[in-house]
A and B are shown apart, each in its own frame.
Chain A
Amino acid sequence: MMDIFLCLKQPSRMVDSKRMRMTSNFQWILLTFLLLYLMNQVSSQKKRTPHDLKCVTNNLQVWDCSWRAPSGAGRGAAYEVCIENGSHSCYRLEKNTKIPALSPGDHEVTINFGSSISKFTLNEKDVSFIPDTPEILNLSADFSTSTLHLKWNDKGSVFPRHSNVIWEIKILRKKNMEIVKIMTHNTTLNGKDTVHHWSWTSDMPLECATHYVGIRCHIDDPKFSGHKEWSNWSLLKNISWSSDSQTKVFPQDKVILVGSDITVCCVTQEKVVLALIGSTNCPLIHLDGENVAIKIHNISASESSGTNVVFSVEDNMFGTVIFAGYPPDIPQKLNCETYDLKEIVCTWNPGRPTSLVGPRNTSYTLFESFSGKCVRYKRAEVPTNESYQLFFQMLSNQEIYNFTLNARNPLGQSESTLLVNVTEKVHPHTPTSVKVKDINSTAVTLSWHLPGNFAKIKLLCQIEINKTNSVHELRNITMKGVENSSYLIAVDKLNPYTIYTFRIRCSTKPFWKWSKWSNEKQYLTTEAIPSKGPDTWREWSSDGKNLIIYWKPLSINEANGKILSYNVSCSSDEETQSLSEILDPQHKAEIQLDKNDYIISVVAKNSVGSSPPSKIASMEIPNDDLKIEQAVGMGNGILLTWNYDPNMTCDYVIKWCNSSRSEPCLMDWKKVPSNSTETVIESDQFRPGVRYNFFLYGCRNQGYQLLRSIIGYVEELAPTVAPNFTVEDTSADSILVRWEDIPVEELRGFLRGYLFYFEKGERDTSKMRGLESGRSDIKVKNITDISQKTLRIVDLQGKTSYHLVLRAYTDGGMGPEKSMFVVTKENSVGLIIAILIPVAVAVIVGVVTSILCYRKREWIKETFYPDIPNPENCKALQFQKSVCEGSSALKTLEMNRCTPNNVEVLETRSMVPKTEDTEIISAVAERPEDSSDVEPENHVVVSYCPPVIEEEIANPGADEAGGASQVIYIDIQSMYQPQAKPEEEPENDPVGGAGYKPQMHLPVTSTVEDLAAEDDLDKTAGYRPQANVNTWNLVSPDSPRSTDSSSEIVSFGSPCSINSRQFLIPPKDEESPKSSGGGWSFTNFFQNKPND
């Protein structure tokens, strides 16, 4: 910066050399002192001349230079300063000097003070530019918006050039001057003094605390190369709210955007104990004194009455209300149209709700830019999301309107525009006062009122014409609009005497919108004469003297009014005879006529007039070539076809009637045009299965000729009855059957044939079951020749009962059947043979037997009638010997010794079956007392130890039955065979007395093989069942295996339940009285054998 040339280099060098030589501490201390001394010397040398030249500028035009005065220079000492600036200029000055700004580059400055001269090199780069301290002209505050307004002067006039200025403004708050914000503000100096304004909005209401503002600047002159420094801060100015010692909360009734932050403070001299936002407690921020603030972040939308912020002091509460909402949405669906071309109605949707109501609600202004007029929307008491509307009076001669709808609330505004040609946006009101007047029976005038002035445009109206039971008709009418709102049109092409309902709606051309439909107006058109005569037919009465004329009532469309009466007249060439009026409900008249040709005419009359006459000739044109045909319909109708006949000029008539009715028979008729060749006759009266006669007439010159006669059914059904049939003739091998016709009513279709079935069979046993099932023994004859009435059945057997069945059938199905039993006559030759052969056989057998008996008479005698009976043949004795090893009772489990019982043979045979029965039952029922009770009554007591064995029966239900389910096997062979093989017994049972072995313990559940394996063991175990166990089968007695085993082993031993009376007590016991001696007889076994 500044170079000072002083000759002090030598001593310093000496000092250095001395120091280099010192090594001890003392030397160091000495060196230090020396250094201090030298420095003091230099300083004192310096102080003796002006030094530390410094230059600053605050306006770039004048440099303010200063230096330090030499020591000893008193106040007011004079210096001579010379500056080498192109020219040498010297100034005699005191300590400071103001010199004009020097040009860039080094300048030598010499300052002489007495004898000492200091020289400096001065460059612009060494000069500091420090602007003057700015001064705040004014600081004001807008408390309602919490905004500070600052005003100051830039004093630009003192600066030679335009340059940018940066202003730094600091905001301090509270008495302890906490810096709240430092902000910069850029301006430009323009060579003139300019007053600048700056505003700042505080986040905290300005009432809450004192706010201080200071300012400084930094001028950035691009041409100045020296140091540019900030000016000093200005004096602080402050803003404070002068409290009137009342507690107040700020801000009041503030409307803010949802989601923003807000600080609320309470200026008070009392101690605030609590702050609430709604019901939420808030931390307090302490300000000066007792003032407090709270900060609300991200506030949510308020309810209608706002968000309450409450500060509670000890005995009071203070608060404010904040309304957090949204700025108005852009009005949506803005639409302007007119109902009447007098007033424009604009509607729109407000869009998103603002959450602001009452005075804060959105206000709307509709501005029309061409006319410059505007309409303001009066705020609704209740804000809605529904459509808003505004009415704008139309201006004469203006069709195009440019609307701008402005929405505004405390948080902002938005707008929506619409350019509209109102003549194209006409939405007429609903037509009113619809009136109808007659023109004639087919036309009316329709008038209505449509509010509005449509004189300049065309209307398009739509008339809906509704007729009862008919599709509604729409007619479009274009008409010129009128000023007086009344419209009238004629509606034609209506039907007479018809109730119409009219309603109207209108739009304009070009189309924009239909109005609503007007109210309906009902109207009955007036009557007109009937458009045609009634459809007429005639029939002669059965006696042929009277002609009955029939006609059909006219349809509503043809009658054109209420038909009051009919006029019938008949005319011939000579005369015209007219009958009296026939009132409406009657549609038939009878005239006595001869067989001359008359023309009958029928006329229908209503209140307006008569119909054209319907004419028909009384006589038919004869037709000899007539055949009766058959036809079958389609269920609900019948199709009739015929060939085209050019002679038939008027029309064809088909009449029909039920064939069973008597003449004159007429159910209905139908007329078809003369060019038709077919028609379908349909009628609700048609019933399936009923025969109808159809007659087709052709017409020429009003005379009808019968062309065809048809019998037919709309649907064929099966006959309801079977044909009656009788047997005309019967022989030993044939039957002649004759049957009768079925009446038409019961036939219910065209007869297609008969089915005749026959089979052998008695009345009681043989039923004709399943005739259609194709049984081979049933013979069927289909008789398709319906004229055939008899049938001869041949190749039958004599004296045999036959079952005959006959049934008729139609295309509708089979009728019921009728049956009969017939026995063919006897064949006499066969009968004789049948008698002779058995007689001959019997004689031969008798002769042979006699011969044999004669030849073997000795053997027979020896065998059957010996002179001395052999005791061995006594069965009673044999029985006692072999059987009695068990107890007398049948209870096998009793351990009583088996003592032989005595056999008493008494005369009372009738008791024998009872004895057997009782004993067996007692064994089954396991009632010991029974046996004792019964015993005395039994005169024949057979000691009988039945070999009882249990077997599990496959049926589990039988198991549950307990004792009743036990099956006892009785080896009958062992009971009776010993007589035949007595020697085998000891071998089989060598240790018969070894002791009792309970039969219950027999392994009955084992297989046959198991039993066989154990056989030896059984033999040694003492008691042994009286049968070969191997022969017992574990299957049921009824099974084939059982039968097989018994047949193989040739044993009668067969498992049989002792409950089974069928086995043990043969049903025909009493038929074999001989068995009583032995208790059992062979006949029993033979009879029981099938049961095995």
Chain B
Amino acid sequence: FLLPAILCLLTLLLPPLSRGAPMSPAERITQAYNLALSMQENMSTLLQTYLQAQGSPFSDPGFSAPELQLSSLPPADISFKTWNALDDGERLSRVQGAFLALTQHLQLVGDDQRDLNPDNPILLAQLRDARLRAQGMLGNVAAIMTALGLPNPRAEDTLGLVPFGASAFERKCRGYIVIREYGHWTDRAVRDLALFKAKYPS
């Protein structure tokens, strides 16, 4: 079942450059919005699969540790006033920055889980899917920024020197935070792109 899912994903993720005719900003926004929705649909499954594989207490029903934070990930929480006041460029660049960090972090989480749960191919595949989707979102947001004529900031290495000496427990927690924040950022991206959809109707 993984192959059709990946093929399906690729249609959403492929950078729009490969298309013959250039897409309008509205089309690009719709495409990014659809991708965000599909990411949102898969979120709870991914988090559930991940926590289930980490053992108790992570796998206990209702596990939640909001106190765990990762400084290398930008927080998705934002006050409504601030969020509402963001201009297009800032709004998109924040989403882009977050998904750039998420892409790198999801790669890291995938590597961590290959050590911790090498016998759980479903989890590894879902993490790979999530990373591909995050990359797709990154590409889509970049395409929107280009289409809207907004400056496209250069990609940075957000991960830095952080990860390599982490203990297994830290890696489990880190994975949890990354997936949780991935969900939060996906929710925020849906809202941001909905705003753009309204602003740039096709």
List A residues at the B interface (Cβ < 8 Å).
249, 252-253, 276, 278-279, 302-308, 310, 315-321, 323, 357-359, 361, 381-383
Chain B residue nearest in CB terms to A360: B115
How distant is the Cα of A321 from the Cα of B167 in the complex, in angstroms? Answer: 8
Partner-binding segment picked from B56-64, B128-136, B153-161:
B56-64
Please classify how large the interface on chain B is, using the bins under 10, 10 to 19, 20 to 34, 35 or more. 20 to 34
B107 CB within 8 Å of chain A: no
Residues of the B chain whose Cβ atoms lie less than 8 Å from the Cβ of A306 = 55, 116, 168
> Does B40 have its Cβ within 8 Å of any Cβ on chain A?
no
B107 to chain A, nearest CB (A): 17
B167 touches A317 (CB 8 A): no
A358 touches B116 (CB 8 A): yes
Knowing A249-B169, A253-B168, A308-B172, say if A382 contacts B55 (CB, 8 Å): no
Q: Among B9-17, B92-100, B117-125, B189-197, which stretch is in contact with chain A?
A: B117-125
Could you name 13 residue pairs across A and B whose Cβ atoms are closer than 8 Å? A249-B169, A278-B55, A305-B54, A305-B172, A308-B55, A308-B57, A310-B57, A315-B67, A316-B67, A317-B68, A320-B168, A359-B115, A361-B118
Near A by CB (< 8 A), chain B positions 33-57 give 53-57
Residue B65, interface by CB 8 Å? yes
CA distance A358 to B113 in the complex (A): 9
**In the complex, which residues of chain A have a beta carbon less than 8 angstroms from the beta carbon of B173?**
317, 319
Contact of A320 among B53, B60, B116, B167 (CB under 8 A): B167
Known contacts A315-B67, A381-B119, then 4 further A-B pairs from the complex at CB < 8 Å, ordered by chain A residue = A253-B169, A316-B67, A321-B167, A383-B119
Shortest beta-carbon distance, B67 to chain A, in Å? Answer: 5
Taken together as a complex, chains A and B put the C-alpha atoms of A252 and B166 apart, in Å, by: 10
Report B54 CB to chain A, min CB distance, Å. 5
Q: How far is the CB of B115 from chain A (nearest CB, A)?
A: 4
| Residues of chain B at the chain A interface (Cβ within 8 Å) | 53-58, 60, 65, 67-68, 114-121, 167-169, 172-173
**Partner pick for B55 among A303, A317, A320, A381, CB 8 A cutoff:** A303
- Asked if B167 and A382 make an inter-chain contact with CB atoms under 8 angstroms apart, the answer reads no
* Pair B119/A321 contact, Cβ less than 8 Å: no
Contact between chains at A321 and B172 (CB < 8 Å): yes
Give the distance in Å from the alpha carbon of A304 to the alpha carbon of B172 in the complex: 12
> In the complex, what residues of B have CB within 8 A of residue A359's CB?
115
Cross-chain contact B118 with A382 (CB below 8 angstroms):
yes
Closest to A383 in B: B119
A927 CB to closest chain B CB (Å) equals 92
Residue of B nearest to A278 (CB): B56
Chain A residues within an 8 Å CB radius of B60: 279
A305's nearest neighbour on chain B, judged by CB, is: B116
Picked from B65, B117, B167, B169, the residue with its CB within 8 Å of the CB of A304 is B117
**Is B67 a contact of A317 with CB atoms below 8 Å?**
yes
Contacting residues, chain A, for B53 (C-beta < 8 A): 304-305
Task: Given A304-B117, A358-B116, A382-B119, decide whether A252 and B169 contact each other with a Cβ distance below 8 A.
Answer: yes
Of chain A, the residue at the smallest CB distance from B165 is: A252
List A contacts of B58 (CB < 8 A). 308
B contact residues around A318 at 8 Å (CB)? 169
Known A-B contacts A317-B67, A320-B167, A321-B167; the reply to A308 vs B54 at CB < 8 A is yes
Nearest Cβ in chain B — how far from A327, in angstroms? 20
| Selected contact of A358 from candidates B68, B114, B121, CB within 8 Å | B114
Asked if residues A305 and B168 are in contact (CB atoms below 8 Å), the reply is: yes
Instruction: Judge whether A252 and B115 touch: CB under 8 Å.
Output: no
Q: Which residues of B contact A279 (CB under 8 A)?
A: 56-57, 60
CB-CB under 8 A from A307, the residues of chain B are 55
Residues A253 and B118 in contact in the complex (CB < 8 Å), given A306-B55, A308-B56, A310-B57: no
Chain A residues whose C-beta falls within 8 Å of the C-beta of B167 in the assembled complex? 252-253, 320-321
Q: Which residue of A lies closest to B69 (CB)?
A: A316
Chain A residues positioned under 8 Å from B120 (CB to CB): 304
Residues of A within 8 A of B168 (CB): 252-253, 305-306, 320-321, 323
Contact A308 B169 (CB under 8 A): yes
B118→A276 contact, CB < 8 A: no
Given A308-B55, A321-B168, A321-B169, do A357 and B65 touch, yes or no (CB 8 Å)?
Answer: no
For B67, the chain A residues whose CB sits under 8 A away are 315-317
* Chain A contacts for B54, CB-based, 8 A: 305, 308
Q: Which residue of A lies closest to B53 (CB)?
A: A305
A381 to B110, CA, bound (A): 14
Distance in Å: Cβ of A256 to nearest Cβ of chain B:
14
Docked CA distance A316–B67 (Å): 6
B169/A305 in contact, CB under 8 A: no
Q: How far is the CB of A278 from chain B (nearest CB, A)?
A: 4
Q: How far is the CA of A383 from the CA of B117 in the complex (A)?
A: 11
* Complex-state Cα separation, A308 to B55, whole angstroms: 7
A357 to B168, CA, bound (A): 13
| Cβ-defined contact, A317 with B65, below 8 A | yes
How many whole Å from A941's CB to the nearest CB in chain B?
109
In order of increasing CB-CB distance, the 9 nearest A-B pairs are A321-B168, A278-B56, A279-B56, A358-B115, A252-B167, A319-B169, A305-B116, A321-B169, A253-B168
Query: Would B118 and A358 count as touching, CB distance under 8 A?
Result: yes
B45 CB to closest chain A CB, in angstroms? Answer: 18
**How far, in Å, is B26 (CB) from chain A's closest CB?**
44
CB distance from B118 to the nearest CB of A (A): 5
Q: Which residues of A contact B114 (CB under 8 A)?
A: 358, 381
Q: How far is the CA of A278 from the CA of B116 in the complex (A)?
A: 16
State A819–B173 Cα separation when bound (angstroms).
112
Contact present for B116 and A304 (CB under 8 Å):
yes
Question: Quick one: which of B53, B65, B114, B119 has the most chain A CB within 10 A?
Answer: B119
CB proximity of B108 to chain A, nearest CB, Å: 15
Nearest chain A CB to B166 CB, angstrom units: 9
Complex Cα distance A359/B168, Å? 11
Give CA–CA (A323, B116) in the complex, Å: 10
Q: Chain A's nearest CB lies how many Å from the CB of B128?
A: 14
Residues of A within 8 A of B172 (CB): 305, 308, 321
In the assembled complex, the CB of A506 is this many whole angstroms from the nearest CB of chain B, namely 39
CB distance from A217 to the nearest CB of B (A): 41
Q: Would you give the shortest CB distance from A264 to chain B, in whole angstroms?
A: 11
Alpha-carbon distance between A320 and B170 when the two chains are bound, in angstroms: 8
Q: For the complex, what is the distance from the CA of A315 to the CA of B66, rounded to whole Å?
A: 9
Determine whether the beta carbon of A304 is less than 8 Å from that of B56: no
Most chain A CB inside 10 Å of its own CB: which residue of B55, B67, B114, B121 = B55
User: Of A253, A276, A361, A383, which contacts B57 at CB under 8 A?
Assistant: A276
Rounded to whole Å, the gap between the CB of B114 and the closest CB of chain A is 7
Task: Tell me, rounded to whole Å, the shortest Cβ–Cβ distance linking A271 to chain B.
Answer: 15
Q: Distance (Å) between the CB of A176 and the closest chain B CB? A: 30
